[in-house]
Amino acid sequence: MKNFDDIMKAAQNVQEELQKAQASLENIEVEGVSGGGLVKVRASAKGTILGVEIDETLLVPSEKQVLEDLVTAAFNDARGKADAASQEEMAKMTSGLPLPPGFKLPF
């Protein structure tokens, strides 16, 4: 059953590498932007929102709905970039592993 032992060792290595990759995602920062840069949202690749920047020209009571829409768009942009950064990091981690095609992590 040497083959089974090898599979178990490989699975343990995958789990350890996955934990390392997950931890590194908190250190990768992305920025979502909307309104041509008037609203910016900084986030970690794990999805934690780190900050919001709003250009002061948008701070007009009559433009409340526009500001809300731009903030929503910036959050969505940041989330998309965080997801892409996360997938890229996971791809780096699994590039050397003998996983079957289409196998997705985390389990």
What is the pLDDT, as a whole number, of residue 3?
77
CATH class label, 2-94: alpha beta
pLDDT class for 103, splitting at 50, 70, 90?
low
Q: Are 39 and 57 in contact (CB under 8 A)?
A: no
The mean pLDDT value of the chain amounts to: 83
Rounded distance between C-alpha atoms, residue 69 and residue 67, angstroms: 5
Q: Is 52 exposed, middle or buried (0-12, 13-18, 19+ CB in 10 A)?
A: middle
Q: Delimit the domains of the chain by residue range.
A: 2-94
Identity of the highest mean pLDDT range in 14-18, 35-39, 98-102: 35-39
pLDDT in tens, 30-48: 999 999 999 999 998 888 8
Q: Sheet containing 49-54: which strands, arranged edge to edge?
A: 29-34, 39-44, 49-54
pTM of this prediction? Answer: 0.66
